[in-house]
Chain A
Amino acid sequence: MIKRFVQWMQLRMWLAAACVVASPAWAWAEAAGAAAPESNKPWWFWPLVLFFFCFILGIIAVLAGVGGGVLYVPLVSGFFPFHLDFVRGAGLLVALAGALAAGPGLLRRNLANLRLALPVALIASTCAIAGAFLGLALPTNVVQICLGATIVFIAILLATSKNVERPEVKTQDAIGMALGMSGSYYEESTGEVVEWKTHRTLTGLILFIVIGIMAGMFGLGAGWANVPVLNLLMGAPLKVAVGTSKFLLSITDTSAAWVYLNKGCVIPLMAIPSIVGLMLGSFVGVRVLAVAKPKIIRYIVIVVLLFAGLKALLKGLGIG
């Protein structure tokens, strides 16, 4: 009976994955059909499609271990009829809501650590404000080209990076020590308390300047960049890097989201179904994760990101 349930869940997971791969093509076709300046679709059509699209995206994002924003912005800007300004505004809110919902659990289990997060957050969030203004000041096609290149880079990063579960940090550097960037967490799988500390802190902090600017400029959650810097460069254990990264997004994206909100880049009719759809999808995704084969989903996401990145590049160049 359990085997049959697992097979049933796997079938649905593959169906969901197929849907997310097919959705852009379908939405693209729909968008092409509605390319006339005055759309003949009723007002509820795109918000409804967006809700279901984001629901599936939420499932896939959890299975692939990526944030919702990094999938949302390239796919929705590429295949839906909304201007990039509103997609980036909604993308930041999507990433913010997901990070805020995940934050409490991570903080309580000490997997998100304030000592590690706060100094990094100050740099990333102030730079995200600058990035948001930069993104809104640049011509749309330039932002679209940069977004496309970034998404292709993220796809390559996801395909090639190998995170280390527990990096070895022999001696902590002076800055890490001064900031108290160390801690411990309880590893449930082995029943041991794992202590950690950082190194190469200055380089890490400098990289968060770039990460913050990109998060604000493109409206992407920056988990794809946070995790490798915290884990591979600064030496935080993978669980702490992932947890702190998710928590960091709640701070970085807050600053950029306010800039987009104040600039008028939030249309509730499309932003709310995006947020709610993605959050509901994430809850389902967490349950599917127990029986899914995340590696295959991850490969599908990499292909979708490559596709979406190239589409954004072509759109920015006026070819797509």
Chain B
Amino acid sequence: MTKTKATRESAKASPEQMLYADLLFYGCWIGIFLMIITYVIYLAGVLDPYIPLNKIPHLWRLSVDEFLHEANAPHGWGWALLLGKGDYLNFLGIALLGAMTIVGFVTLIPAYVRKKDWLFVGIVTLEVLALMLAASGILGAGGH
């Protein structure tokens, strides 16, 4: 490692890194705000929950397989069909948090293409594919 007399300008983050940072900032706080709002809606009983609140303390002791069976709860993207229910509405904020990194990576691809940095175009593309594969629920489908 070397210490240089370079200016502070040279140590600034790249434009694509700044774009990613801005995107994460807004997405993360919108997600957390959404989680708080939907949780209040859930607990206040504005929307009926799919699983009654007083049943949950008996269910969270079970393994996930037993929980899904006992509660007749969905897995995969099944929650998206139950957004009208107070409990599953909470998944909106959670899913937004999970989507932020994927969206951020997609914005990096054009920046690296413009720089003709093909190695990083490949790395970012593979990362997007891996995250989308995990998010899709295709892997391990039919496990329950």
Tell me the A residues contacting B by CB distance below 8 Å. 37-39, 41-46, 81-83, 85-86, 93, 96-97, 100-101, 103-105, 107-110, 113-115, 118-119, 121-122, 125-126, 129, 133, 136, 140, 166-169, 178-180, 184-186, 192-197, 235, 237, 250-251, 254-259, 261-273, 275-276, 279
Contacts and interface: CB of A to CB of B under 8 A. Distances in A.
Contact of A110 (B13, B43, B67): B13
A184 B11 contact: yes
Interface string B130-144: 110111010110011
Contact of B140 (A42, A133, A279): A133
Contact of B1 (A97, A167, A179): A167
Contacts of A42: 54
A107 B18 contact: yes
A68 to B, nearest CB: 14
Contact of B25 (A41, A104, A197, A259): A104
A126 B130 contact: yes
Given A272-B39, A275-B35, A279-B32, A83 B21 contact: no
A218 to B, nearest CB: 15
A47 B20 CA distance: 34
Interface of B: 1-8, 10-14, 16-18, 20-22, 24-25, 27-29, 31-32, 35-36, 39, 42-43, 53-54, 56-64, 67-68, 73-77, 87-88, 90-91, 94-95, 97-98, 100-102, 108, 119-120, 123-124, 126-127, 130-131, 133-135, 137, 139-140, 143-144
A83 B61 contact: yes
B93 to A, nearest CB: 8
Interface centre among A46, A269, A270 (most CB of B within 10 A): A269
Contacts of A254: 98, 100-102, 131, 134
A43 B24 contact: no
Contact of A195 (B3, B12, B42, B143): B3
A195 B4 contact: yes
A82 B81 CA distance: 26
Nearest to A250: B101
